Structure 1
Amino acid sequence: MDDSFSVLPIGDVEPYEHNPRTGPNPRYNDIRVSIMADGITNPITVTRRPDSYKYHPYGGGNTRLAIAKELHANGDTRFDTIKVIVKRWPGDANVISAHLAENEMRGDITFWEKAQGVSSFKRAHEQEHGVVLSTGDLGRELKSHGINFGVKVIQNFAFAVENLSPIGPWLKATEVNELIRPGMAGAMAVATCFGHRSFGDISTPVLLKYRDEILAIITYNKQADEEQRKVVELDATELVSDLHEALAAAIGAPPEVIPLMISAVESNSRITAEELKAIQIRRTPESAQGGVSAPTAPPPSSSQRTLGGMLVGVAPSPQPLAPAGPPASPPAPTPPVHGSASSAHNQVPVSADARQRNPALPENVSSSDPTAHILSLVLDISDVVGLSDCILHVKGMPFGYCMDIPAAPDKIGRQSLPEPHAQVRAAAWKFLASVSGQLDPKWFTHVGADESNWTRSALAGPTAFRQAYEGGLRGFTSETGDPAMLLVEVYHVFNLPELGYLTVQLLRAMEQLRLDHPERFVGTVTSDPDFPD
């Protein structure tokens, strides 16, 4: 009868083969001590398939059963039989969900064990009911069994089971969600564009390498003294980097261009392999002249980048709006990236004169400066669209910079820009200005009027500011003279793959700085009815 009590020979009860928990219970030793002293005081609930005489635990009890079997094998006759509660067989899906719910309630089950449990539940439910469960259907079925996983969590489980099994036991939920799945899924999309039907041929050797390295550490720890043992963990950032390198080798592309290819595929799913091959990493003029390839696009890692090599030869200047240095020979033009709204918006032909690093940014910005990574990304954006005439390094500003009003919207120094490129340049300027903090009166006054057109015109009042702003950017301002950014300009920023990628990286770096250095920021933007005067 369902929920009846019984006494069974210990040999008639076996572990459940689909138990989601595959690793040892972290409380195994404590439970063993308790059972040795008092026996199994909480009876195990068991069930069995109609065509089997063997029982197995239902919804927990595997650890208690394993301990009882161990003690019985060592000669403890108290465990010749065990008292159990017998449940009628409900089907594998229900048994799996009962084990999963029990382990989830105790909170001692790993990401990988949950992923395998959900996969087993889905497979069993589909076989028993003759249906195919979508992600939403699976979430609702699990919820009806008392297990509440969100859609994205379920998707991460499925991704891990399908693609990451060699390193499954060492996966962490946050790393799968924020690093591994986005980085690997993007690489898969790029590989598909290049005709690779299965990404496993590229990823499996990398995953096996990481598995073997972790297993080697585990073996070493078993033999080493406690103080010499190494931490057993997966470096997710390094893993994604190695996967991107493996992809680069498979498609014959430089490793540093892979993040830009991923960004391009994400923004345009119809982009072709030939169009992806046309994407190039921008080079600084200094590195091009010296014959050294120095990519300026940020790596996929979230770690801080240094400015070494980027600010070499840059000296302070009291005239930030003047062109920096004599004109140099223009670099080879970057091939356009097709497949977006307009190829005219997908490249900005910036000459070496215009691409020089801002003369107002001093050389002494070291990698220890909390704003160094952000300044590096701002300079990378400048390399793409040409903003060297209006980036000011201001140590007192939250992110270490502000944007000055350019002398003209369609000129960088002595170089004229066609209208589409001037629009992209203006859009990038407005975006950088909007996130710098300079719209807050508490911050824009950190720059002296003798150094900045922005400050000088703002202090002169709304009318003067409007004239200077519209003259330099052809932009829109509100009735009070506040600058405004059009929706189409936001689109321009993210429509150009390289610019969009760098902008996303900049926002991430800014948020990290907010978390690491809250003292650099005011609580709220102050409201001033007379702003900007």
Structure 2
Amino acid sequence: MSKYNKVNLSDAMLQRGKSPSPVGAGNNVSPLVPPVSEMAMMLTLDQVKPNPDNPRKSRNPRYDDIKASIRARGLDSIPKVTRDPEGEDVYIFSDGGNTRYQILSELWQETGEDRFYRIQTIVKPWPGRLKCLIGHLAENEVRGDLTYIDKALGIRNARTIQEEQLGKSVALRELSDLLNQEGYPIHYSSISRMEDTLKYLYPNMPDLLDSGLSRGQVVSILTLRSAAEKTWSQYEIVRDESPDFGGVFGATCSAFNNPDSYSFEMFRDELIGQLLKALPHPSLNYDRWLIELDPKEQQRREMFGEPPAPPVVTPVKATLSSLSPGTEETRLPPQPDDKVHITGLRSGTLTGAGNRPEPVPDNNAEVDVPTLPAALQSLTDGSQVRPANRTETQPDLYGGPAVFSGESGVQSALNDINLFSALSDPLDESGRQPSSYVSSVAFAATGLEPVTDIWHIPALQDDIEHLQDMAYRLAFELAEAMGCEDSIHEDKAPQAAGYNASAQSSNEFVLFLAGMTGNLPKQPFNMFMFCLNFFGSHVISDQPVFADEHVVKVMRLIRVLRRLRELQRDAAKGGSDEL
């Protein structure tokens, strides 16, 4: 046997370091000296605790997988720890490892196995509180499992620590430069968005953000807020009792604090509804708010400026020639073309071409009349002026435009009155709605998708994405009226109708909505009984189920889907979806 005692290296490594023995009664035990370089050390769970500045506040999404791996194989990676010389006599994790510590603690309590109690670590010199926090941020950034709100809170904490160390406030650019120098690259604009998140969103919807709302979803809400506040400031009328924008936006955020009920589209619609109530301005209806909050429209305005004002028809000077009693004739000045083209933007106008009347000398008083052919004057303004060569006028018994006998040019113009002009609201000579006019379907201007005009689609919403949104809101609202809204789901695929409905449903109305998307029902349904929902019958008990506003919205849904399919066909054959 060797003269040297055998030493059990494993037991020796597991022993804690010892302090020098006291020399005299008045001497104290010397404190532990912090290491000057990284060194390996075996520590127990009692000697280690999580870093108090750990940016992760929510549960690691891979927690269960990591725990299963450590239970089966032990701790593969060696965590780095450090000790604050001015803090407690314990080690804290300097570059991640807090989740593994929590798992080891649970396994030690569950199994009592020593391999979970003792941890092989690497002790590094104390880098400072700020560098420890940045180390945790960088370590989580590599794995990509830190939620956006945890990252925002962590960077806010880093800014606070730096300001405490410097004794002054730190600008976002300074903080960005520091984080970049420490190996955590982030642009100051990203930090600014995080600050806005903590200022405007987190106080009102903490549960939603803590559930893991992504950066893209948060940016969409912030963009929506910025556009809404800009429009609000343009139309706000400051009064003593008027609500402020921050209160309206905060109340909307609080209403969507539940992760299970949040949807960006529903959030936007609810915000518009609250804005309409808080800021009842005549220029701000639902469609106008929808355009103002559209990111594509904001980008277009940044590139090309504000949209031009609607065109106004400029009156020209014309003469009235005195003819035989009871007869009047409108004469227009000479035109450069042989044809006069009329293009109708909305209802009340015609699309076509008429022959230009021959010019006559200006020998009478001047009056203002629109630049329209005389043959079509009575079709647009209801006046009694008519050409002398027409001898018969047949007024329409149902309030439509009058019918003239005579040349084929007028008949051609009358044939151009299409479904567009029949289902739209009239405009005056300047291209605007008369101030005294009330839409015949104004009673349907309620709900998720208010309808004031069945046929007209605003130019800024005449694209596939907007039409899909409109179709989904209309279909959902109609299904909600029939008690089958759970069967309607949003579908924003390029060739989708904006929504989908189950073609295997037993509900007749769901099958009807599914058929409108092109998804043919698997089973037929009683079309006669279904039509009674719309029309009713002469029997007293067969009253229509649909209210008038829902019938109008069905017609509007048909119009929206027709236009959507037209744009999708153009896109499929290489055309443009913006006509």
TM-score class, shorter-chain normalisation, is 0.3 to 0.5
Structure with larger Rg: 2
TM-score by length of 1: 0.47
Task: With a CA cutoff of 8 Å and minimum separation of 6, indicate the structure with the bigger relative contact order.
Answer: 1
TM-score w.r.t. length of structure 2? 0.44
Task: Answer 1 or 2: which has greater helix percent.
Answer: 1
